[in-house]
Structure formats: C-alpha cells, structure tokens
Chains A and B, each alone.
Chain A
Amino acid sequence: MNNIFLLNDYITNGYRLEFVDFIYIISILFGIFTIISRNPIVSVLFLIGLFVNIAGLLILVGYDYIGLSYILVYVGAVSILFLFILMLINIRISELVSETNNDIPLAVITVLLFYFIIGQVIPSNLTDNTIVTSLSNSFSEVYNVQLDNEILNIIDLKQEIAYASSKSWDNSLIEFTHITGIGNIMYTNYSLWLIISSVILLVGMVGAIVITIKQK
C-alpha cells in the first residue's frame, strides 16, 4: 500500500492522450488553413484559433503559465494588432491571388530539413514528444508502447491510481502551479527586476508620447 506510482503521473498527467492528439490534428489543420486561405482576415482568424489551440495544449500538458501568456500575448495583443492593421490597409482579395503551388516542394523540403536538424540537436526525450512521433504513436497502441519501457502492468496501475496523488495537507505546499511558482519568485526574490522592467515600460510610454504629441 505504501507504493506511490509517480510513473502514472508521468504518463498521462491527468488527461487522456487522445485529447492531445485531437489538439495536434486541429492545430495542424489550422496552420494549413492559415497559409491556404486567400482572405487575410480569415487567415488571421485561423492564426488566432491556432494560438488558442496551442495554449490549450500547453495548459493541458502542465505549462499553465506559458499557455496563459500565449493567450494573453499572441491572441490578446499581437493577433488583434494584425487584424487592426489588415482592416486599416484595406487590401482587396482579388489582388492577392497568386500562384503558390510551385512553392509546395520547397515548403516540404524546408520542413523536413528543419525537423532533421532540430531532431539531432535537441535532447532525445524532447523528440519523443514531437508532433510527428506522437501522431505515429497515436495510431499504434500508445499505452503498451509506453508501458513496455517501464516494466509495469496496466492492471497494477489501475488499482493503484487512486493513491497516486494523496490529499494530505503538505501537498498543497509543494504542488504549486506554474503561475504561483513564478509569482512567488518574481514578487519576492526578483522584485527589483519587476520594478526595472516597469521603468522600461514607462520609458517606452513616455517616449511614444514625446515623439507624437502635438506641440503648441
């Protein structure tokens, strides 16, 4: 009874892997649609969808903070800025028709090259989780592949799952989410950085006003 299977946490982390595959497929679709669609506004809308999707994925995987900041920064600021600019410059859709089919082999080669190079450089435990391998895994039997490495039976796991995370009080000290963790550090040890970066933002604001204000 004293066995605590942290392994269980490592594999699924509280969600079902199928959801992740689902998100992968949706985000790939969104990415393709972003490139394909002729209307720039629709394209930016797909981009926003892609960002939201990836933010959801990140939150699901456990990177709460990065996921939220994705939504905040990319969706909230950058994409809206894109939309604004696109609506302001008023491009007619008919002008944008151009033949891009010739570039498809180039795109494929670029992607493959990128994957090849990146796959060599980054550590192997990261490449296991890349989209392509996960996709290929999702078509095969994921559970068996994962568990064969760990020499454990799935039946054991199902029995012990209830005890995997205990509800005792000391967990609440350790189990920070990323946001609280980062906040705890940022507002205590590194609070000065926060102040300096706020001063930098202040300089930016003042400067923008100074450069553009109407002088009497």
Chain B
Amino acid sequence: MLLSSIFCLLLSNALSFRRDTAILYSRIGIIVLFYCIYLAYNNLFLTYLDNGIGLFGGLFYTSSITQIFHILIFLVSLLILNMTGFYPRKLISSEYMSLHKLIFTKLSFVKNLTVSNIILKKGEQYTIIEYTLMLLFIITGSVLLISSSDLVSIFLSIELQSYGLYLLCAMYRNSESSTSASLTYFLLGGLSSCFILLGIGLIYANLGVTYLDSFYVINNLAGIINNQEITTYIPYCLLLISVGFLFKISAAPFHFWSPDVYDGIPTIVTTFVAIIAKISILTLLLQLVHYTNSIYITTSYSWTTSLLVSSLLSLIIGTVLGLTQFRIKRLFAYSTISHLGFMLLALTINSVESIQSFIFYLIQYSLSNLNAFILLVAIGYSLYAYNDKNINHNNLIDKNNSPIQLISQLKGYFHINSILALSLSITLFSFAGIPPLMGFFAKQMVFSAALQEGFIFLTLVGVLTSVISAVYYLFIVKTMFFDGHTYTSFNKLKDLKIPALVLQKDKVINKIYFDSKFALSSSLSITISILTLIILLFMFMPNELLHISNLLSIILFIPNSI
C-alpha cells in the first residue's frame, strides 16, 4: 500500500507544474498514512503473532512488536505531515462563523497578497512538492527496518531510510545551513553504514548465515557444545554493527554530528529526522539485543556491556554538554542524547520489566519530543505579528525556515501567548521527569528495572544526570515566564482591516472586514493540545500504554503465554 501510493505520488509529482500544490500532497500523505495505520492495526493479532511470522521466505518478519511500532511511526509522521499540510495561521471573524454561511457561501478576499502573507502561503515548506514523497520513502525504509529479520535486509532498509533522510535535509535548497548540515549527515551516515556492513560481512564470513533466525540459533546452541570456538568473534561483529546503529541514533560516543545537523536543518525537518530514525533503529536493536544476549556464556564477553558504556556516556554527555547551549535546537539534541542513555540502559538490562520500560519510554519520548518540536514551529509562526527589538535575533541565518533558534528568543513568551508557553513548559517538565507527567513514569520504570537487576551505579548516574538536566529545562521555563520580552507588535498589523466579500452563487451578498485577530491554525493547535493533554493527563488513565508495553515485553520473553 505504502509503495503503491509512493509510486502514484511520484507520477503526479513528476507531472505537476505548479509548485504551490505541495500542501495538497501533504494532505494526500496524511490520508495514505491513515490507511497504513488501519492496515497495521488490522494485522495486529496479539495471539496469533506471538512468535512472529516470517514473510517473504524469512527475509522479513512480523510480530506484535513490529506492528505496534509501525503504528507509532505512522502516527508520528502523520502528525509531522500535519505541519505542512495546512497553513499555519488563520483569520478569525465572528461574523463569518455560522455553519450555514460556512457551507453555502464562499469567501473572496480583495487583497489577496496580504492574506497570503498572513497565512504564510508562500512559505518555503509549501513549495517543495517532493517533501511528502521523500517522507513516504523514509517511512517505507523504517517500517522495513523494524520488521527485517535478515542481515542483508537490515542493511538495505537502513540505507533506504538514511538516503531519504539525507535528501530530506538537503531539500530546502535556499538555505545554506541546511545543505551543509545535510552534507555532514551524509558523510557521517555513510561512515556508520560502513561499520554496519563490516559487521555483517564478518558475521557472514564467520558463520555463513545471514538469516537472523539461524544466527540466533547458532549463537544460543554453540554454548551447549564444549570447546566450540565459532562464537568467539561474534560479539565483536555485533559490536561493530551496533556501533553503526549508535552512530545513526547519535548515542554518546558517536553523538557529535547530531547537534550540528539538528541545528542546521529547518525545524520541520528536524522533527522528522530526530524521531523516526530513532524509533526504527531502537526497535531493531531491541530484537538484536534480546536474542543475542546470552552469547557471553561461551565467550566471557558480552557485547551488551559496551551498550551499557554507551548508555553511561550518553547520560553524562547529554546532560553536561547541554548545560552550555544557548541555541534551542542544539539543546534539544543534547536532551535527546541523554534520553537515549535511559533507553539504552533499559534495553541492555533485558529483563521483562526493563523491556517493558524500554517500550514505554520509546513511545512516550517520541510523542513528547514530537510535541516539543511542533511547539517550536508553532511559536515561530505565532511571532509573525511581533517585531523583535533585539537586533541579534533579526540577523540569524536561515530565519525563514527555523524562526526560533536561540533560547533568548523565547524571553517572556508567556506574555505573548500563554497557552503555548504553558504547553512547552509541560513538555519540558515531562522531559525532566517531574512527577505527575508522563516522563516521570518512564524514568521511574527504567530505574526500578535497573535496580532490580542490580545496576546500582548506572541508576545513580541516571538519577543525578536527570537532576542536572532539569537545570537547562528549567532555564527555558524561567526565560519564558519570568523575563521581560523585547517584542512589540507591528503597528501596521494592529489596525489592519482586511476586506472580504461573501459570495453566494457568484453574487456578492455581504462585505465583511477581518481585523488583525489572526491565530494559529487549528491543525497545529489541535495537535499540540492533544499531545500536551496526553503528557499531562497520563496519570489518570495510564493503563492503555502500560498494558501495551507490558504485553509486548511478555510476548517477547514467553511467546506462548497468551
């Protein structure tokens, strides 16, 4: 389904001459993703898929975990497409609100240019018609990556995903920073692909299999026969592969590209790049870690301990380096790194409880990260009517694509749009793990799982770093609420009257004026409010998410229990 709609989109993209129809393509993409969610949900049979079913001769497989994460990926990218599928601002007039008028009459603006400026019709994200196409390619890659059960298909799908990501970063061609960020991303991503390929090649050279199933069987049976040396190299090969993966998800020793890349590319693209790749690769790592965790019986070296090292470094680097950042997207990149530390910790412990906490953490983190980035975009849109007196803020590079770049730009934002400021602070509190929010429960589950398995040192480090990281989250909240802002609203926009004609069957029946009360469009505000409410009110109905993660981890460990 996804592939066929990609080809339809490709055809229509190639044939379309107008650049301004991109918004319609985004809406088509949203419809496609709805359909994909339906299909994935329809195939989710928890009882029948308990062991997982191999597809296409074992090259791919499907199980409940892959289906759930397919749905998560579709959902997240649907919400991201929502940002480009609709114009970001809307005009409000109380005279033109009744349902009868909305359905039976038609509005026609007299001054089209002003209106299109106000609703940002000419924004660059609405002129790239290939955006949706590339997004769908990436989603195909990550969906295939989640459900691949063969080393070669892992490599192919990770390449599909990452080529799409490099191209997506380079797509805003007019901005220099996004092109250079894309080049950085491309070079380092190519390097990490080399690592993955080297590991795969070594595994094939040593064992002669590429099927992950037979690979797991060999690994786990080799321990039974004494004096078998065949698995000596395997942990190191797996280590190489996981180095490649950690590169791609920017976990700690290999993190240095991510702040630069995230900062360089437009915020809308950052949202996608930061979330989708992590979901797919972490889900794949979950499978890999779970089934190869017991090799160390024969080799006295467990490759997962190196994942623990990576987790420790991620925790420390993500928090400590985040303290010095003054650009907000770099700060988000470092906070992502520190959250990756938690996820890797939960992944490596590999008990039922920790896998449950890992799945829950991944889901909640993707949602709240998504919310944070959408909020950044929305704040950027909402500042249209205001003039910034601070000259430093007006000379930022690439201001059109990512309006909010510095933390100081958020100064006193509470006095401009208090609801958005509140939502952002709720999301940041959830990142920091303040109790009644969703992030707290995730962290608490990780810590309790770690303590149960005796990882006391890492738990201590986790607690300490999450306290330290609260400093920079709280700093943003402080700047938003307690500092005076430097914004003044444009006089020109303040007493603006936009004449508009109400048409009914091509006859002018009324003439109304829109004043300067334009607001954030409902697509953005609805998305933000839903996500923020999920984060805020999670404690009142935690059962759904917790049960999902619990079921999935139990299925992973005891396949026939349901």
**Who on chain B is nearest to A190 by CB?**
B59
**In contact, A207 and B134 (Cβ under 8 angstroms):** yes
Name the residue in A192, A199, A211, A216 with the highest tally of chain B Cβ atoms < 10 Å from its Cβ: A199
Assuming the contacts A193-B153, A211-B173, A215-B127, asked whether A203 and B160 have C-beta atoms less than 8 A apart, the reply is yes
B140 cross-chain contacts in A, Cβ below 8 A: 199
**In contact, A206 and B144 (Cβ under 8 angstroms):** no
Q: What are 5 A-B residue pairs whose CB atoms fall within 8 Å in the complex?
A: A196-B144, A199-B140, A200-B163, A203-B134, A211-B173
A155 cross-chain contacts in B, Cβ below 8 A: none
A204 cross-chain contacts in B, Cβ below 8 A: 163
Q: How far is the CB of B14 from chain A (nearest CB, A)?
A: 9
| Cβ contact of A192, chosen from B17, B19, B133, B153, cutoff 8 A | B153
Cβ of B462 within 8 Å of any chain A Cβ, yes or no, is: no
Chain B interface main SS type: helix
**In contact, A203 and B137 (Cβ under 8 angstroms):** yes
Measured in the bound complex, the distance between the Cα atoms of B153 and A189 in whole Å is 13
B171 cross-chain contacts in A, Cβ below 8 A: 210-211
**In contact, A210 and B167 (Cβ under 8 angstroms):** yes
B127 cross-chain contacts in A, Cβ below 8 A: 215
Q: In chain A between 147 and 202, which residues have their CB closer than 8 angstroms to a CB of chain B? A: 189-190, 192-193, 196-197, 199-200, 202
Measured in the bound complex, the distance between the Cα atoms of B56 and A203 in whole Å is 23
Known: A200-B159, A206-B167, A215-B127. 9 other contacts (CB 8 A): A193-B59, A193-B153, A203-B164, A204-B163, A206-B133, A207-B134, A207-B166, A210-B167, A211-B167
B297 cross-chain contacts in A, Cβ below 8 A: none
Cβ of B191 within 8 Å of any chain A Cβ, yes or no, is: no
**In contact, A196 and B163 (Cβ under 8 angstroms):** no
Task: Tell me how many residues of A have a C-beta within 8 Å of chain B.
Answer: 17
B156 cross-chain contacts in A, Cβ below 8 A: 193, 196-197, 200
Measured in the bound complex, the distance between the Cα atoms of B164 and A210 in whole Å is 12
Cβ of B498 within 8 Å of any chain A Cβ, yes or no, is: no
B60 cross-chain contacts in A, Cβ below 8 A: 192
| Cβ contact of B134, chosen from A189, A192, A210, cutoff 8 A | A210
8 nearest CB pairs, A to B: A207-B167, A196-B156, A210-B130, A192-B56, A200-B160, A203-B137, A203-B163, A189-B57
Q: How far is the CB of A156 from chain B (nearest CB, A)?
A: 36
Cβ of B152 within 8 Å of any chain A Cβ, yes or no, is: yes
Cβ of B170 within 8 Å of any chain A Cβ, yes or no, is: yes
**Who on chain A is nearest to B173 by CB?**
A211
Q: Mark A109-127, 1 if CB is under 8 A from B, else 0.
A: 0000000000000000000
**In contact, A206 and B130 (Cβ under 8 angstroms):** yes
Measured in the bound complex, the distance between the Cα atoms of B60 and A189 in whole Å is 12
Instruction: List B residues at the A interface (Cβ < 8 Å).
Output: 3, 10, 17, 19, 56-57, 59-60, 127-128, 130, 133-134, 137, 140, 144, 152-153, 156-157, 159-160, 163-164, 166-167, 170-171, 173
Assuming the contacts A203-B164, A206-B10, asked whether A196 and B153 have C-beta atoms less than 8 A apart, the reply is yes
A199 cross-chain contacts in B, Cβ below 8 A: 3, 137, 140, 160
Measured in the bound complex, the distance between the Cα atoms of B159 and A197 in whole Å is 9
B133 cross-chain contacts in A, Cβ below 8 A: 206
A210 cross-chain contacts in B, Cβ below 8 A: 128, 130, 134, 167, 171
A207 cross-chain contacts in B, Cβ below 8 A: 134, 163-164, 166-167, 170
**In contact, A211 and B137 (Cβ under 8 angstroms):** no
Q: How far is the CB of B526 from chain A (nearest CB, A)?
A: 30
Measured in the bound complex, the distance between the Cα atoms of B140 and A200 in whole Å is 11
Q: How far is the CB of A209 from chain B (nearest CB, A)?
A: 8
Measured in the bound complex, the distance between the Cα atoms of B168 and A206 in whole Å is 11
Measured in the bound complex, the distance between the Cα atoms of B153 and A192 in whole Å is 9
A190 cross-chain contacts in B, Cβ below 8 A: 57, 59, 152
**Who on chain A is nearest to B127 by CB?**
A215
Measured in the bound complex, the distance between the Cα atoms of B60 and A59 in whole Å is 34
Measured in the bound complex, the distance between the Cα atoms of B127 and A193 in whole Å is 34
Measured in the bound complex, the distance between the Cα atoms of B127 and A206 in whole Å is 16
Measured in the bound complex, the distance between the Cα atoms of B16 and A215 in whole Å is 12
B128 cross-chain contacts in A, Cβ below 8 A: 210
Measured in the bound complex, the distance between the Cα atoms of B171 and A193 in whole Å is 27
Name the residue in A202, A203, A211, A216 with the highest tally of chain B Cβ atoms < 10 Å from its Cβ: A203
B134 cross-chain contacts in A, Cβ below 8 A: 203, 206-207, 210
**Who on chain B is nearest to A211 by CB?**
B170
| Cβ contact of A215, chosen from B19, B59, B152, B157, cutoff 8 A | B19
Q: How far is the CB of B139 from chain A (nearest CB, A)?
A: 12
**Who on chain A is nearest to B179 by CB?**
A211
**Who on chain A is nearest to B60 by CB?**
A192
Measured in the bound complex, the distance between the Cα atoms of B186 and A44 in whole Å is 29
A203 cross-chain contacts in B, Cβ below 8 A: 134, 137, 160, 163-164, 167
Q: How far is the CB of A66 from chain B (nearest CB, A)?
A: 16
A192 cross-chain contacts in B, Cβ below 8 A: 56, 59-60, 153
B163 cross-chain contacts in A, Cβ below 8 A: 200, 203-204, 207
Measured in the bound complex, the distance between the Cα atoms of B540 and A26 in whole Å is 79
B170 cross-chain contacts in A, Cβ below 8 A: 207, 211
Measured in the bound complex, the distance between the Cα atoms of B157 and A207 in whole Å is 17
**Who on chain A is nearest to B163 by CB?**
A203
Assuming the contacts A189-B57, A210-B130, asked whether A196 and B157 have C-beta atoms less than 8 A apart, the reply is yes
**Who on chain A is nearest to B159 by CB?**
A200
**Who on chain B is nearest to A216 by CB?**
B19
Q: How far is the CB of A123 from chain B (nearest CB, A)?
A: 11
B3 cross-chain contacts in A, Cβ below 8 A: 199
B56 cross-chain contacts in A, Cβ below 8 A: 192
Measured in the bound complex, the distance between the Cα atoms of B60 and A204 in whole Å is 23
Q: How far is the CB of B258 from chain A (nearest CB, A)?
A: 21
**Who on chain A is nearest to B174 by CB?**
A215
Q: How far is the CB of B285 from chain A (nearest CB, A)?
A: 20
B19 cross-chain contacts in A, Cβ below 8 A: 215-216
**Who on chain B is nearest to A188 by CB?**
B57
Measured in the bound complex, the distance between the Cα atoms of B140 and A215 in whole Å is 27
Measured in the bound complex, the distance between the Cα atoms of B166 and A206 in whole Å is 12
**Who on chain B is nearest to A195 by CB?**
B3
A202 cross-chain contacts in B, Cβ below 8 A: 10, 137
**Who on chain B is nearest to A200 by CB?**
B160
**Who on chain A is nearest to B128 by CB?**
A210
Q: How far is the CB of B129 from chain A (nearest CB, A)?
A: 9
Measured in the bound complex, the distance between the Cα atoms of B128 and A189 in whole Å is 39
Measured in the bound complex, the distance between the Cα atoms of B170 and A204 in whole Å is 13
A197 cross-chain contacts in B, Cβ below 8 A: 156
Measured in the bound complex, the distance between the Cα atoms of B299 and A141 in whole Å is 47
Q: How far is the CB of A184 from chain B (nearest CB, A)?
A: 14
**Who on chain A is nearest to B168 by CB?**
A207
Measured in the bound complex, the distance between the Cα atoms of B10 and A199 in whole Å is 12
Measured in the bound complex, the distance between the Cα atoms of B133 and A207 in whole Å is 10
Measured in the bound complex, the distance between the Cα atoms of B19 and A200 in whole Å is 25
B17 cross-chain contacts in A, Cβ below 8 A: 216
Measured in the bound complex, the distance between the Cα atoms of B17 and A211 in whole Å is 16
B167 cross-chain contacts in A, Cβ below 8 A: 203, 206-207, 210-211
